[in-house]
Structure 1
C-alpha cells in the first residue's frame, strides 16, 4: 500500500514539473526548462519503476493515471499562481474614456491609444502590455470603467523598448541603488 501512495505522490510532483517545464520552454527560458526536465525525468523513472516492479498490477496503473490527471490540475494551479510572463490587452471602446486611460496610467500600466473607424462610428483601442500577474487587476479596472468594452488578450513572446521595459529598467536601477545604500549603511 505504501508503494501505491508513493506512486500517487510522485505523479503529483512529476506532472506539475512537466507543466512548468513546458511553459518555461515556450517562454524561451531554456536553462530553467532544462533543469526542470532533469527533475521531471528523474521523478518519472522512479514512479514508473514502482508501477512495474510491484505486485499491485492494475491498481498501481490506475493510481498512476489518476495521479497524472490530478497532477495536471495542480500544475495548472501552480502556473496560474506564478503568472510567468506578460500579457497584451487590446481594449476596444466606443468612446475615448479619458478617466479610464488616466487611471490605468496612474496605476502603472503603459497605455497606447489608437483611433480607428468602425462600421458605424469612430472607435478607440487601448493597447496595454502588462505582467500576467496584473491581468486580473487590469480586467477589473476595465470592467469598472467600461463594462461593455471588447477585450482581446494574448501573450507576446518577445518585445523590446516601450514604457514597460523602460519602467522595469528604472525599477532595477532603483533596487540596485537601494541595495548599495543599505550595504554602505551596514558597513
Structure 2
C-alpha cells in the first residue's frame, strides 16, 4: 500500500509543477521554467518508475491516474491564486461615465477611453492593462457603475511604454534602493 501512496503524492506534486512550468514558458520566463522542469523530470521518473516496476499492480496505476487528475485540479487552483502576469480589459459602455473613470483611476487602474460607433449608437470603450490578480476587482467596479457593459479580457504577451512600464520601473528602482540599504556593510 506504500507504493500507491507514494505514486499518488508524487503525481499530486508533479502536475501543479507541470502547470507552473507551462505558464512560465508561455509568459517567456524560460530560466525559471528550466529549473522547475528539472524538478518535474525527477518526480516524473520516480513515479513512472514505480508504476512500470510492476504493471500487474493495478493499485499503482489507479494511484497514478487519481494523483494526476487531482494534481490537474490543484494546478489550476494554484495558477488562479498566483495570477502571474497582466491582463488587458476592454469595457464597452453605453455612455461616457466620469464617476466610473474616476473610481477606476482612484483605485490605481490606468484607463484610456475612446468613442466608438456601435450598430445603433455612439458608445465608449475603456482600455485598461493591469496585473491579473486585479482583474475581478476591475469587473466589479465596471458592473457597479455600468451593469450593461460588454467586457472582454485577454493576456498581452509583451508591452512597452505607458503607465504600467513606468510603474514597473519605479517599483524595480525602489526595490533595488531598499536592497542596497539593507545589505550595506558598515565598518
Name the TM tier (shorter chain).
Answer: over 0.9
Distance 1:124 1:35, change over 3 A: same
* 2-structure distance, mates of 1:41, 1:28: 20
Distance 1:177 1:37, change over 3 A: closer
**Aligned residue in 1 for 2:130:** 130
Matched, 1:73 2:73: yes
Change (3 A) 1:95 1:68: same
CA–CA separation in structure 2 for the residues paired with 1:102 and 1:183: 40
Indicate whether 1:36 and 2:36 are aligned. yes
Match of residue 47 from structure 1 = 47
Map 1:5-44 → 2, pairs under 5 A: 5-44=5-44
Cα shift at 1:183:
6.1
SS in 1 for 2:111: strand
Q: Deviations over 1:26-85 (max 9, x none)?
A: 111101111111111110000011112247611211110111111000001111111111
The CA distance in 1 between the partners of 2:182 and 2:42, in whole Å, is 42
State the distance in 2 between where 1:46 and 1:10 align: 8
Q: Which residue of 2 aligns with 1:92?
A: 92
Displacement of 1:157: 0.5
Corresponding residue SS for 1:84 = coil
d(CA) in 2 for partners of 1:25, 1:144: 36
1:59-70 superposed matches below 5 A? 59-70=59-70
* Structure 2 gap ranges (5+): none
Alignment of 1:102-121 (within 5 A): 102-121=102-121
Structure 1: distance between partners of 2:176 and 2:35: 28
Question: What are the Cα deviations for residues 126-173 of structure 1, in whole angstroms up to 9, with x where unaligned?
Answer: 000000011111111112111210000000111111111112212333
What is the number of residues matched between the two proteins? Answer: 186
Task: Sort the Cα spacing of 1:28 and 1:182 in 2 relative to 1 into closer, same or farther, 3 A.
Answer: closer
The whole-number CA distance in structure 2 between the counterparts of 1:4 and 1:79 is: 27
Q: CA RMSD in A?
A: 1.7
Q: 1:179 to 1:22 in 2, by over 3 A?
A: closer
